[in-house]
Amino acid sequence: MWQRKLISLLIILVAGAIGYFTYTYGTFRLGLDLRGGSHLVYEADTAALPAADISEAMSSLREVIERRINAFGVAEPLIQVEEAGLGAEAKHRLIVELPGVTNLEEAIKLINITPQLEFRVLAPGADLAMLASSTASTSDLFVSSGLTGRYLKHASVQFDQQSINPTISVEFNDEGSTLFAKVTQENVGKPVGIFLDGALISAPSVREAITSGQAQISGQFTVDEARSLARNLNLGALPVPISLISTETIGPTLGAEALAAGLRAGLLGLSVVALFMLLWYRLPGLVSVVSLAIYAVLMLAVFKLFGVTLTAAGIAGFILSVGMALDANVLIFERLKEEIRAGKDIHEAIREGFSRAWFAIRDSNLSSIISAIVLFWFGTALIKGFALTLLLGIVVSMFTAITVTRTLLLSVAPKHKKPFTKFLFSSGLNIK
């Protein structure tokens, strides 16, 4: 008996230590709706991409945008890819959330600042004489070679030893090196146009095939222009065109009010539920309240340690999982009452009650877990926050409802039948 009491004491002490650590260590990661900031929705133009390449292109797009935003020091941005619809009619979108950035123009500038680099070859029928003509349009003389800034590995500023003019040295990744080698092999003696944001900035002639994956961009650059261009190219060019379709700005005051309202609702709900459990189930109800407090401590620790972004929907999922944790306790306690009425010893009744209630708890929680996984897999960014906290809450609540509550209840239950035993373990409105 004393071993079980010692284990219960250790559980409470460990939970208290985790709670203190959670309270003092760092801060919670708040979502845009609670912290304030900018919410941008972009739609990607994937019409020119094969269906098999869309997923990879969208992943590359997310990485490029994330790299751009991080370079400007935006704290904890959230960039997600979203697919709306099915099959060929599906729309591919990029959701960008920038906490703390409430200037919408600044937010859009962060996304659009990187120039689009492209290497083009002479169009069929075009020649050098046409290129030298002032009446010819460069956009008509060159066609795409498929080599863009998407394949860029690194860009740096160098200086021409003869003219002392700054140039941009670019290095491609493995796939880009292969493409660049093919372009130079097929265009020896011909110019290759280097276009930046659709404008021709250089058209060097290819003397020989270049297989090293390195090229040089020359033009009438100042030192500052060359450095700025190299920096922007290093941030990455967009693998697919995007267009802004939706914007939203949430002020920090509105976010703080939403957070305060969510916390008030959560605390009020927990208080009412705790009071009900105490009045209806008495001693088991008290144990369930302690177990619920341990559950809340563990969940908050998980949120903070694993960097879970808390949104208003996420907090709703957390509160819903609290109710599910108490549902498990209700099933257990009702089974416990039935075993006591059957004349069993208190400890035996507790063990039987937990054992018989487990199957119903397992099945109900398993169905909820499946629902949460489906919501997280197919849901939008808002739904995913709800699904994640709900999923984590269900897993942790199963542990506290089955393991913690059982251990605590066995440690405080009287060993022998006493006159007040029936009072402590009977429903408040069902005493016989």
Pick from 165, 153, 132, 164: which is nearest to 215 by CA?
153
Three-state DSSP class for residue 311: coil
Domain count, the chain: 3
Given the structure tokens 């400007």, which residue do they identify? 72
Residues 48 and 112: beta-carbon distance below 8 Å: no
* Per-residue pLDDT at 105 exceeds 60: yes
Q: What is the 3-state secondary structure (H, E, C) of 354-403?
A: HHHHHHHHHHHHHHHHHHHHHHHHHCCHHHHHHHHHHHHHHHHHHHHHHH
Q: At which of 202, 234, 266 does a domain end?
A: 234
Q: Is residue 91 domain-shared with residue 176, that is, in the same domain?
A: no
* Residue 230 neighbours by CB under 8 Å, 6+ apart: 155, 156, 157, 168
Query: At 161, is the pLDDT very low, low, confident or very high (cuts 50, 70, 90)?
Result: low
User: Rounded to 5 degrees, what are φ and ψ at 326?
Assistant: -70, -30
Question: Which CATH number covers residue 196?
Answer: 3.30.1360.200
Q: At which of 199, 226, 248 does a domain end?
A: 248
Q: pLDDT for 106-140, tens place per residue? A: 777 767 765 677 888 888 877 666 666 655 567 67
pLDDT for res 418: 53
Q: Is residue 158 domain-shared with residue 225, that is, in the same domain?
A: yes
Is 430 contained in some domain? no
Least confident of 9-18, 154-163, 166-175, 409-418: 409-418
C-beta pairs of 79-83 under 8 Å, 24+ apart in sequence = 80/381, 80/384, 82/380, 82/381
pLDDT for res 432: 41
Q: Is residue 289 domain-shared with residue 308, that is, in the same domain?
A: yes
Q: pLDDT for 78-97, tens place per residue? A: 788 888 776 667 788 888 88
Mean of pLDDT over the chain: 77
Which has more pLDDT, 225 or 232? Answer: 225
Full domain range(s) for residue 13? 2-32+252-424
Is 284 contained in some domain? yes
Residues 70 and 77: beta-carbon distance below 8 Å: yes
Question: Which CATH number covers residue 273?
Answer: 1.20.1640.10
Q: What is the mean pLDDT of residues 336-354?
A: 78
Is 164 contained in some domain? yes
Q: At which of 191, 221, 248 does a domain end?
A: 248
pLDDT for res 261: 78
Q: Is residue 256 domain-shared with residue 307, that is, in the same domain?
A: yes
What is the rounded distance in angstroms from the CA atom of residue 267 to the CA atom of residue 28? Answer: 17
Q: Is residue 79 domain-shared with residue 149, that is, in the same domain?
A: no
* Per-residue pLDDT at 232 exceeds 70: no
What is the rounded distance in angstroms from the CA atom of residue 84 to the CA atom of residue 75? Answer: 28
Burial 44-72 (b: 16+ CB within 10 A, else e): bebeebeeeebeebbebbbebbbebbebe
Question: Which CATH number covers residue 103?
Answer: 3.30.70
Given the structure tokens 């935003």, which residue do they identify? 69
Query: At 430, is the pLDDT very low, low, confident or very high (cuts 50, 70, 90)?
Result: very low
pLDDT for res 172: 87
Residues 152 and 233: beta-carbon distance below 8 Å: yes
Is 329 contained in some domain? yes
Q: Is residue 24 domain-shared with residue 87, that is, in the same domain?
A: no
Pick from 223, 211, 210: which is nearest to 168 by CA?
223
Q: How many CA atoms lie within 13 A of 102 on its CB side?
A: 10
Q: Is the dihedral of CA 284, 21, 385, 382 positive or negative?
A: positive
* Per-residue pLDDT at 48 exceeds 60: yes
Q: Is residue 168 domain-shared with residue 281, that is, in the same domain?
A: no
* Per-residue pLDDT at 19 exceeds 80: yes
Q: What is the DSSP string of 160-216?
A: -TTT--EEEEEEE-HHHHHHHHHHHHHTBTSBEEEEETTEEEE-PBB-S---SSEEE
Is 303 contained in some domain? yes
Q: pLDDT for 393-425, tens place per residue? A: 888 888 887 888 888 887 877 665 554 455 555
User: Rounded to 5 degrees, what are φ and ψ at 217?
Assistant: -105, 120
Beta bridge partners of 154: 171
Is 226 contained in some domain? yes
Is 325 contained in some domain? yes
Q: pLDDT for 235-294, tens place per residue? A: 566 777 888 888 877 776 666 777 777 778 778 877 888 888 888 887 888 888 888 888
% of residues, the chain, pLDDT over 70? 81
Is 374 contained in some domain? yes
Q: Is residue 191 domain-shared with residue 94, that is, in the same domain?
A: no
What is the rounded distance in angstroms from the CA atom of residue 137 to the CA atom of residue 184? Answer: 23
* Per-residue pLDDT at 332 exceeds 60: yes
- Beta strands 117-122; 91-99: pairing state: unpaired
Q: Is residue 173 domain-shared with residue 41, that is, in the same domain?
A: no
Q: Is residue 355 domain-shared with residue 260, that is, in the same domain?
A: yes
Q: Is residue 275 domain-shared with residue 375, that is, in the same domain?
A: yes
Q: Is residue 306 domain-shared with residue 268, that is, in the same domain?
A: yes
* Per-residue pLDDT at 226 exceeds 60: yes
What is the rounded distance in angstroms from the CA atom of residue 204 to the CA atom of residue 218? Answer: 8
Which has more pLDDT, 424 or 321? Answer: 321
